Structures are given as structure tokens and as C-alpha cells.
Structure 1
Amino acid sequence: MAAMSPWRGHFLTFARYHAWATRRLLDAVAPLSDEAYRRDVGLFFKSVHGTLNHLLVGETLLWFRRFAHGESPALKLDMEAEPDRARLAQAVLDGAMAWEAAISAWPAERFDGRIRYTRMTGAVVDLPFAPTLAHVFNHATHHRGQITAALTLLGQPGPELDLVYFLQMQEAQTG
């Protein structure tokens, strides 16, 4: 494992939280009927399925490839990457779990560097690495919150996904 930095520890916590929260969300989504799962409930990507699909596209197929491989794939944020519900859930979870290993492997100085990529419009963007990585986790939290609200609207309990619950669970396991 590469040398520890304050950034690395910070982002490893967020990567672990991200995987934990994604797993809990998918567990809460599982009982939905297929009709409810695909119903337009007014989310930006319309349904629970559409929003999970967007998480796969945005987080894994786009941002992870930018950060981990230096690629700039030309994708549409609303493209349907995986129509099958079970395969989509597994791909979203696998994508969420991939961040921890990537972050662990990056050299400490990378967090203080920059990320350069090409947007889907063809424009080249050059941004500070750590705040842009923070965006990825913030983006996922935003869409998990939308899905949690949709679950409530659809008559299902929403999972508790607050970071402090994850931290308390982690403390209980290590302390």
C-alpha cells in the first residue's frame, strides 16, 4: 500500500462509506415490485431504475475511468447501461466497491495534484484532484437521497444512510 496521507485517509473513509451506503440502499430497493422500481416518481432520472442506472454511468463508467485509468469516455448520462435489474444492482455495487482499492494504490502526491479530462462536449477540463474526487462521493450521496425519498413515496422504508451511522458501526467493530 502507498504512503498514508491525510487525503488518502479521508477518501478511504468515504470509499468505505460509499460501498456500505450503496449496499444498504440496494437492500432497501430489492423488495420493490418491478412496476414500482421502474415507475416515474419525478426523480431527475425519473425512476429508481433510472437513477441507479445513472449512478452506474456517472460514477463507474465515467468518473472511475477518469480517475483510475485517465480515460475520458464519451457517454450520455441518461444512457441505459444495464436494463436488467439484478445485473444493474451488482454493477452499481461493484463500482462502489472499486474505489477503495484505487484510492489505496494512488501515490500520496496525487491527491494534491490535478485531474485533466475531456467532457462529453469535447471541452478539456483541468481541476484540483481531491475536490473533484469529493464530487464523486457527494454526487452518489445526492442520488442515494433521491432514491430514499422515492422508496418512502412508494411505501417502502428508507434505509438510514447517514455517515455518522457508518462511523459508529466502524468504531464498534474496531473498538
Structure 2
Amino acid sequence: MSELSHLRLMASYNSWMNQKILDAAATLPAHELAAERGAFFGSLLGTLNHLVAADTIWLRRFATHPARFAALDAVLALPAPGALDAVYSDDLAVLAAHRRWLDELIGGWVAQLADADLDHVLHYASTKGIRSQKRFGDLLLHFFNHQTHHRGQASTLLSQAGVDLGVTDLLMLIENVADHAAPPAPA
């Protein structure tokens, strides 16, 4: 699988899993969503807000790529989150609508990437002001891995609240391929 194909698969997985988590979270009352559960960002709602904040921060950084991705212009119009624990909304419906919008934007943007875009070295500063320069394709891997990491926490928080998220494996989105070396089926 090419690097671009892998990134497109991860964008699809990101969208699919975020929707599963949002659907599961919507079954909980507001006090359960906001309940402190000892996660990095406290509650399920805190974790979901962190994902929006971190994605927005990264997408704004990605928009500085010299390819000038028009798909990311809408993110540049958003206010920059002031911190990784910034709260986009305490209302799950509002947060979910924004999450779906972000995921559509991410999917459309990743579909437009070219191989040459991935080798660019992106210069950026962390939220603590630490300057870095890293290969763009590697940063995209981090971007999707970070989301998977915190969605894993969200699935644990849902489980603690008594909600079964069901199957979450990337394997569910990987297409089956014909095995040309397999023996013919018995007649």
C-alpha cells in the first residue's frame, strides 16, 4: 500500500471511529459525559474536546505547507485553540456537528494530497513554543496516530460508563483482496 493510500485509509478510519464514539456518547446523560474518570483530559467530553483542539492545531500547521491546500482555508478561519485542553463546546450535539465537519474536511483534504507533498519539511512550533522541523508525511502519521490513541481512551471511558462501542478495528475498513494463489474450490 502506498503512503498516500495508507493516509486515506486512516482518514476514513478516523471519520468512522469518531462517528461510532459520538453515537455511543449520545446515549449517555450529560452528567456521565462530563464525569471525571481519570483520563488525560478528565472526562469523555474533555477527551472529545481535546481531539477537536489538537486536530485544529495540527490542521492550522498543515495549512502552512507551500502547496497551499485550499481545503484547509476553513480551518484557518477558526480561532486557534489556546491549549490542548481547550473546550470547543460542553454541548455534545454542537461538538459532534463540528467533529463531523472536521472529519469531512480532513477526508477531502487527504484525498487531494500528492506524493510530492509528503516529502516537504514542515517548520512549526509546539503549543509550548518548541520549534521543530519534520517531514510532512511523518507528521500526518502522527496526526492520525494521536487521534487513535485518544479514541482508545474514549472507548475505555465509554466502557466505564457501561456503553459497549462494538468493533473498533481498522481491519473492518481494509478491503479483502482475491488470493490468486489459492487452490480452486472443490466442484
Identity over aligned residues, as a percent? Answer: 30
RMSD over aligned Cα atoms:
2.0
Cα-to-partner distance string for 1:104-128 (whole Å, 9 max, x where unaligned):
2233211122221122222321011
Larger helix proportion of the pair:
1
The match for 1:144 is 151
Determine whether 1:25 maps to 2:24.
no
Determine whether 1:125 maps to 2:132.
yes
Determine whether 1:116 maps to 2:123.
yes
- On the 8 A contact 2:20/2:165 being kept in 1, the answer is no
Q: How do residues 70-89 of structure 1 correspond to structure 2 at under 5 angstroms?
A: 70=65, 73=80, 75-89=82-96
For 1:65, the aligned partner's letter is R
Q: In the comparison of the two structures, how many residue pairs are matched?
A: 164
- On the 8 A contact 2:122/2:135 being kept in 1, the answer is yes
Structure 1, 28-37 or 87-96: larger mean CA deviation: 87-96
Instruction: Summarize the Cα distance change of 1:90–1:159 in structure 2 as closer, same or farther, 3 Å threshold.
Output: farther
Q: How do residues 1-175 of structure 1 correspond to structure 2 at under 5 angstroms?
A: 6-59=2-55, 61-70=56-65, 73=80, 75-167=82-174, 171=176
* Aligned mates of 1:106, 1:68 — CA distance in 2: 12
For 2:63, the aligned partner's letter is A
The match for 2:69 is none
Structure 1 length normalisation: TM-score?
A: 0.85
Instruction: Summarize the Cα distance change of 1:114–1:120 in structure 2 as closer, same or farther, 3 Å threshold.
Output: same
Mind listing any 5+ residue stretches in structure 2 that lack a counterpart? 66-75, 178-187
Query: Based on CA coordinates, which of the two structures has the bigger radius of gyration?
Result: 2
Cα-to-partner distance string for 1:131-164 (whole Å, 9 max, x where unaligned):
1111111111111111111111111112321100
Structure 2 length normalisation: TM-score?
A: 0.80
* Aligned mates of 1:120, 1:144 — CA distance in 2: 21
For 2:128, the aligned partner's letter is T
Cα deviation, residue 98, structure 1: 1.6
- On the 8 A contact 2:26/2:92 being kept in 1, the answer is no
